[in-house]
Amino acid sequence: MTPYLLRRFAYAIFVLWGALTIIFVTIRIVPGDPASMMLGAGATEEDVAALRHRLGLDEPLPVQYVQFLGDAIRLDFGNSLWLNRPVLSSIGERITATARLAVTAMAIALLVSFPLGILAALKKRTFIDGLVSVVSLLGQSVPSFWLGIMLILVFARQLRLLPSAGSDTWKHLVLPSVTLALPLIGVLTRLVRSGLLEVMYEDYIRTARAKGLDPRSVLVRHALRNMLIPVVTVAGLQLGNLLGGTVIVETVFGWPGIGRLLVDAIFNRDYPLVQAAILCITATFITINLIVDISYVYLDPRIRLQ
Amino acid sequence: MESPAQESGRRIYELVRRRREGTISRRAFVQAVTALGLSMPLAAMLERRGLAALQESAPSGEITIVLPRSLVALDPHGAQSVEEATAVISSHVFDTLVVRDAATGELQPRLATSWQAIDETTWEFKLREGVTWHDGTPFTSADVKASLERVQSLEGPLAPLWALVTEVQTPDDLTVIFKTSEPQGTIPVSAALFFVTPAAHSNDEGFFDNPIGIGPYKFVSWVRDSELRLEAIPDHWAGAPGVQTLVFRDIPEVSARVTALETGEIDFTFGLPADQLPALAENSELRIDSTPSYAYYFNWFNCSREPFTDARVRRAMAHALDLDTIVNDLLQGVGVRAQAPIPSTIFGFAPQTPYEYDPEKAKALLAEAGLENGFETHVIWNPGSGPQDRELVQAMISYWAEIGVTVESREMERAAWLDALLALDWDMDFQTNTVRTGDADFTLRRLYVSSANRTGYANPELDTILVEAAAAADPARRQELYAQACKIIWDDAVGIFPFELLENYVYRTRLTDFVPTPSAVPVFTSVKIAE
Amino acid sequence: MMTSTASNTAESAGLETSPPTQGALATGARKRRGHNRELRLFLWSLPIIVFVLAAIVGPMVVEYDPVKVRTGDRLKPPGAILRDGSRAWLGTDQVGRDMLAQVLQGARISLLVGAATVLFAGLIGLVMGTLAGFYGGFLDALLMRLADIQLAFPSILLAIMIAAVLGPSVANVIITLSLTRWVTFGRVARAATLSAKERDYVIAARSMGAGTPRLLRWHIVPSTIAPLIVIATVEVGLVIIAEASLSFLGLGTPPDQPSWGQTVAHGRDYLNRAWWIATMPGLALSIVVLSVGAFGDRLRDYLDPRMRGA
């Protein structure tokens, strides 16, 4: 397993470098400039030029790039231009808030989609199956901001059951995590269903059945276990995406997550903050997917990491 | 500038407070109060009733406020210094030398008790005695000097206001002298936007994540994009605030913000779209205070680009708009027709002859300029800059189409818009603007002198007027000069100045004694909670 | 969100290994089931056909004029009679434009964005995936790492950057979305290529001296098409939703060519006062995305031999 991990680590470094390089270049190509954003609409050209010089933005791009890579290796990302404080502390706070939301949403999605998916598979091609399929698709078929606002209007404004926005208590967590979970339920339910159906026709399951084993124990011991691989893969990818921030849901519900921080940072052309945020998000994503890959070994003894 | 009566009133207040705390005896209290000129029976009554009154007025309760835009930074000198959210928090935690009275527009003493121009290039401010920072350190002229130098060195948006100040002198702890390179009459006005921070700490790493203030509220905590908490200073020199805890929450989405106000999750917000107001006005649990503001819309023409180099074309564009209908249909409760290139709330405002809605005249003007078949152009704008901006752009484009002018709407994100705006890379620019100081100089000189080159419009006559107006110390003379400037900008149609905006503060009726401000920087010191 | 909500659904469901092969013997019962399946496939395609027709014909019948606003007729509810005597069946928007015309115009834009994006992303994915799978080695590693970078990279960011550089236009929205969505197609195409490469007939063709272009053209590419088409049906819906997300952030189609997502995003502040502005196009959007998704599911069932024998 060690050589495997080493290789994966090398890949991870490559992917991180690639992501950082892409962001470094693109954010500098994009029109807009941190100096004029900091100075506002009243600034003169000389003011902007002076500030650009102070920030080192007038250096040639390759010089800036080498400087940036050097700093990145030492994990020194400097201060945010816009918040005027160390970027890593801002990002740390935000990733925690986003993680709370993402993990809750994923938990809800898994808790709902397993029973739904199994039900649909067992009642294959019945009315129930069709209903589950349509309901699970429905969650994916509405824009999340529309869904979020509707949930606020119904549960906060009309019913007064839940708070509309904020992040203080568990009650604040309900609406945003449900908004995030609904599309996931759609994806995962269908995966559970199709995974289960697929496995049920594998030879070993047929054999187990032919041997007269109780169909229910076959389902639990063999089928469910094997179906976990696609589910875990996709759940891992999705969790990685969610941890990268969910700017829309964070905006609608006033949640202080990394997605909003990142988008605001881009809109403000806050180069240091954008670069560090991308690094953290990419690293989180890679880590989660590595965990997913390693988990395969435990889910399916036939798989060997190579 | 504090009158003797005010002064003794403050002392009596202080004595009552100390008596309540038990730091002076009843006897010492009565003696001290009679020494200030009160009769014995009055002093005795004050001893009994004054205490009760003061006890009632001790800060209590908690209110939750949502600002229209997210708070980005607490540093009142840096890049965010003109952001309203930053100014709101600064107004509570920090303080300014002078303050513009919300009701009268007059400058009032605050950390400075008096100020005067000693000569053409020297302004002297006398500071208030006995004021301390929240950590107990006394407030002195060194704090003012350090803060001003910080404003200048950070090169934030406020720096230009102080660009002419060459030196800050501190002859003693309670005197500050600003020396300017040229005469500058606007120094006291600018001082109303200038927040003083502690000289000893302002440049410490992370100071503004946990600042030590001097205002009526002290900083408690801040979770970015979530919540900021302030606690009242009960023994503040200007009197105790009414509310103990101010909570500033961040809710960017309008629907969520309105819902939170209706359900009572929050108590106070403002800057809502016009279409949200009628429903809120019908809600008996809410109150709306509407007040003219320092903000207004303009639609600039790039006067260095064809065909807007021709003033007739610019005027034609103005005559094409039915502004009364637009105000009536789209801006009810949030805007009115503007009468000058600056809002009527601003010092230096002088009403002009409106461009009446007359499409025929507009077409005739275009024909005169050789454009009888109309032309194609575009307008750049940044969504979210003002109420109903999208609807206004669409409506104006619709009216311009009627006179044969095809206008493309170029909606841009803020950074890209700013880039284009400053580079003069546009035909027309539609935006809101706020005269932060409440004084015409802030807007007119900054934006319309030829050297600023913001619109491609250059007029030496206007330049002379604006420079002289900034230098003059006599308000009457300044008013007269700004009236001339308004007329030139209006008649030459450097832009269309369609609407000035109202600020609508919406809050739950349990709040009382709120004083609306035109600056979109509300202050909650006076607010009380009704039970 | 812009993130690919179901991007890997089909991939991980083992689609790439199951090109369409003919099923086994068809008994009477199976035949009936087969008809059923075709019927369902057809039923789910009906809403799509209706909306495609509406998108083509609608704007010709009910003319949408993005410029003309009638502020006096704004925020009128569905069925209201306007000042000029006409009836607004779906109400009017915040500047008094007819919602019906806007929803029909939106169908045109949204469906165009959905279809064109899937086409471009599919083509990019097909080329990248087939090359990576066919040649393997360094090229494969390079292309797949590029895909990894892109998966790990928040796609919303790329979208903001591209939109800021290129400016708002329907074409640019399509480019943006294609560039952020090719990875799914690429991975599926690669997997299909890998499995096709090992098939007997390909090995046979190769041993008979068939050249690379010939192999790719006649043997490899055709076997990647079926899984790509299934993925495409899933992706069309996701792309339409993703475009709505761009609109929410102010990076969607330009104001004179409003997509459904654009109208929903701009109408969202009116949900408590004039619900129809955001709801009418939202409903249309949801119906289409739902139908396309369900159609995709049925199509996969239909094409997948293992599901057939069930």
Tens-place pLDDT, residues B482-522: 999 999 999 999 999 999 999 999 999 999 999 998 888 99
- The per-residue pLDDT for C2 is 36
**pLDDT band per the 50, 70, 90 thresholds, residue C40:** confident
Q: What is the pLDDT, as a whole number, of residue C23?
A: 39
Closest CA to C223 of C274, C270, C189, C181: C189
Q: What is the DSSP code string of chain C?
A: --S-TTTTHHHHTTGGG------S---HHHHHHHHHHHHHHHHHHHHHHHHHHHHHHHHHHS---SS---GGGTTPPTTEE-TTS-EETT-B-TTS-BHHHHHHHHHHHHHHHHHHHHHHHHHHHHHHHHHHHHH-HHHHHHHHHHHHHHHHS-HHHHHHHHHHHH-S-HHHHHHHHHHHHHHHHHHHHHHHHHHHHTSHHHHHHHHTT--HHHHIIIIIHHHHHHHHHHHHHHHHHHHHHHHHHHHHTT-SS-TTS--HHHHHHHHGGGTTT-HHHHHHHHHHHHHHHHHHHHHHHHHHHHH-HHHHT-
**What average pLDDT score do residues A251-259 get?**
90
Q: What would the pLDDT profile of A31-69 be if each residue is shown by its tens digit? A: 888 888 877 666 677 778 888 888 888 888 888 899 888
Average pLDDT (B282-305) is 94
pLDDT over 90 (residue B268): yes
Tell me the C-alpha distance between A286 and B35, whole Å: 77
Mean pLDDT of B410-432: 89
Q: What phi and psi, each to the nearest 5 degrees, are found at residue C222?
A: -55, -35
User: Is A237 part of the contact surface with chain C (CB cutoff 8 Å)?
Assistant: yes
Measured in angstroms, the CA of B426 and the nearest CA of chain A are apart by 15
Model confidence at B401, pLDDT cuts 50, 70, 90, reads: very high
| pLDDT tens figures, B211-230 | 999 999 999 999 888 899 99
What's the pLDDT at B367?
Answer: 95
Mean pLDDT over residues B185-213, rounded? 90
Confidence of residue B2 (pLDDT cuts 50, 70, 90): low
CB A246 to CB C149 under 8 A? no
pLDDT of B395 above 70: yes
C254 close contact with B: CB closer than 8 A: yes
Per-residue pLDDT of B125-182, as tens digits, reads 999 999 999 999 999 999 999 999 999 988 777 888 898 999 999 999 999 999 999 8
The predicted structure's pLDDT at residue C8:
37
Predicted pLDDT of residue B50: 58
pLDDT-derived band at B9 (thresholds 50, 70, 90) equals: low
Check CB contact under 8 Å for A36 and B259.
no
Alpha-carbon distance A103 to nearest alpha carbon in chain C (angstroms):
16
Judged by CB atoms closer than 8 Å, whether chains meet at A14 and C145 is answered as: yes
pLDDT of residue C199: 77
Q: What is the pLDDT of residue B147?
A: 95
Distance of residue C170 Cα from the nearest chain B Cα, in angstroms: 14
Q: Does A150 contact chain B (CB < 8 Å)?
A: no
Question: How many Å lie between the alpha carbon of A140 and the closest alpha carbon of chain B?
Answer: 22
Residues of B in contact with A93 (CB under 8 A): 223-224
pLDDT at A1: 62
Residues in chain B within 8 Å Cβ distance of A264? 70
Among candidate residues B255, B398, B373, the one with its CA nearest the CA of residue B322: B398
Query: Is C156 touching B (CB cutoff 8 A)?
Result: no
> Is C82 within 8 Å of chain B by CB?
no
* Section C100-114 average pLDDT: 93
Average pLDDT of span C47-59: 91
Asked whether this complex has an ipTM greater than 0.90, the answer is no
Q: Is the pLDDT of residue B88 over 90?
A: yes
Tell which wins on pLDDT, B400 or B447. B400
- CA closest to B417 among chain C residues: C164
C contact test, residue of B255, B257, B275 with most C CBs within 10 A: B275
Does the pLDDT of residue B398 top 60, yes or no?
yes
Q: Which of C152, C160, C297 sits opposite A285 (nearest CB)?
A: C152
The mean predicted confidence, pLDDT, of chain B is 89
Rounded to 5 degrees, what angle do the CA atoms B370, B372, B374 make?
A: 105
pLDDT band at B411; cut points 50, 70, 90: confident
So what's the pLDDT on residue A4? 80
The alpha carbon of residue B385 is apart from the nearest alpha carbon of chain A, in Å, by 12
* Confidence at residue B64, expressed as pLDDT on a 0 to 100 scale: 96
Cβ–Cβ gap C72/B409 under 8 Å: no
Confidence of residue B444 (pLDDT cuts 50, 70, 90): very high
> Looking at the predicted structure, is the pLDDT value of residue A189 above 80?
yes
Res B474: pLDDT: 85
Instruction: Annotate chain A with DSSP letters as a single string.
Output: -HHHHHHHHHHHHHHHHHHHHHHHHHHHHSS--HHHHHH-TT--HHHHHHHHHHTTTTS-HHHHHHHHHHHHHTT---B-TTT-SBHHHHHHHHHHHHHHHHHHHHHHHHHHHHHHHHHHHHTTTSHHHHHHHHHHHHHHSS-HHHHHHHHIIIIIIIS--S-SS-SSSHHHHHHHHHHHHHHHHHHHHHHHHHHHHHHHTSHHHHHHHHTT--HHHHIIIIIIHHHHHHHHHHHHHHHHHHHT--HHHHHHTT---HHHHHHHHHHTT-HHHHHHHHHHHHHHHHHHHHHHHHHHHHH-TT----
**Is the pLDDT score of B365 beyond 90?**
yes
CB burial of C6-44 (b: ≥16 within 10 Å; e: otherwise) equals bbbbbbbbbbbebbeeeeeeeeeeeeebeeebeebbeeb
- Does C309 touch chain A if contact means CB atoms closer than 8 Å? yes
pLDDT, chain C, mean: 80
Does the pLDDT value for residue A221 go beyond 80?
A: no
- Residue B451 in this model has a pLDDT that exceeds 80: yes
What per-residue confidence (pLDDT) applies to C288?
93
Residue C261: list chain A partners with CB under 8 A.
143
Determine phi and psi for B194, rounding to 5 degrees.
-100, 105
Which residue is closest to C156 within chain A, CA to CA?
A263
Residue A254 is nearest to which of B79, B206, B256, comparing CB atoms? Answer: B256
What is the mean predicted confidence (pLDDT) over C277-301?
88
| Mean pLDDT, residues B316-329 taken together | 95
- Asked if residue B26 has pLDDT above 80, the reply is no
Q: Indicate whether C14 pLDDT > 70.
A: no
Look at C95 and B395 and tell me if their CB atoms are within 8 Å. yes
